[in-house]
Amino acid sequence: MWKSQRRVLAFTVVVALFCLTGPALSQGAPPEGDVPQDYADTDPSAVEVFREELAPHGVWVEDPAYGLVWVPSVQVVGPDFVPYLTAGYWGYTAEGDWIWVSDYEWGWAVFHYGRWVWVPERGWAWIPGRAYAPAWVVWRVGYPGYDYVGWAPMPPSYYWYGGVAVSLWVVPPPYYVYCESRYVFTRHVHSHRLHGYRAHEAA
């Protein structure tokens, strides 16, 4: 229990520190000028509203485990693509929320709506969702102290079948990446990702 409390306390300190020192920004609305509105994440419009925008950059497929998903093209994102790590950086909004700022022109959709899931033989796939967030991720802090920060795409709790959102029986585990806390807000955070024993140590 004490270990868990230390993690929470450490993470609170990290958030407070970076909100004071990180790059301030306010990410714009989608290209068409729409302002994010209040939708239920499982609003049926999610199935169609992103389809045309994302089609040139990947493929829409029906996966047997996760229903309708969008898989980005390897030619577009590269073979080592990881959501919330590749081609982007962390900043924070005027309200102090942490936000993922993507370098992809279509990043406004897949990093602020829906959920990512790792699918064997497909790689990372995106499940449409309609609720907006600065970033759909979960966070953790390495133990001991707060020298390391880890984050992962928030696992989905539903999938789309025939245009209807269906609850997943088993929620997939999050896949964390880690870096030293001092590098979280760097412009090329992907280059500071920990690998091997250092990632294990941070976890």
pLDDT at 203 over 70: no
27's torsion region: left (phi>0), alpha (psi -120 to 50) or beta?
A: beta
Higher per-residue confidence, 113 vs 10: 113
Answer for the pair 181, 16: CB distance below 8 angstroms, yes or no: no
What pTM, to 2 d.p., does this model score?
0.82
Mean pLDDT of 144-161: 90
7-52 pLDDT tens trace: 433 343 334 334 433 444 444 445 444 556 688 999 999 999 999 9
- Give the Cα separation of 22 and 105 in Å (integer): 23
pLDDT at 152 over 90: yes
pLDDT at 3 over 70: no
Enumerate residues 6+ apart whose C-beta is below 8 A from 157: 115, 167, 168, 171
- Give the Cα separation of 60 and 72 in Å (integer): 9
Q: How confident is the model at residue 189 (pLDDT cuts 50, 70, 90)?
A: very high
Q: How confident is the model at residue 201 (pLDDT cuts 50, 70, 90)?
A: low
- Give the Cα separation of 203 and 143 in Å (integer): 7
What six digits make up the tokens of 152? 């992962």
Is the bond preceding 144 in cis, omega lying within 30 degrees of 0?
Answer: yes
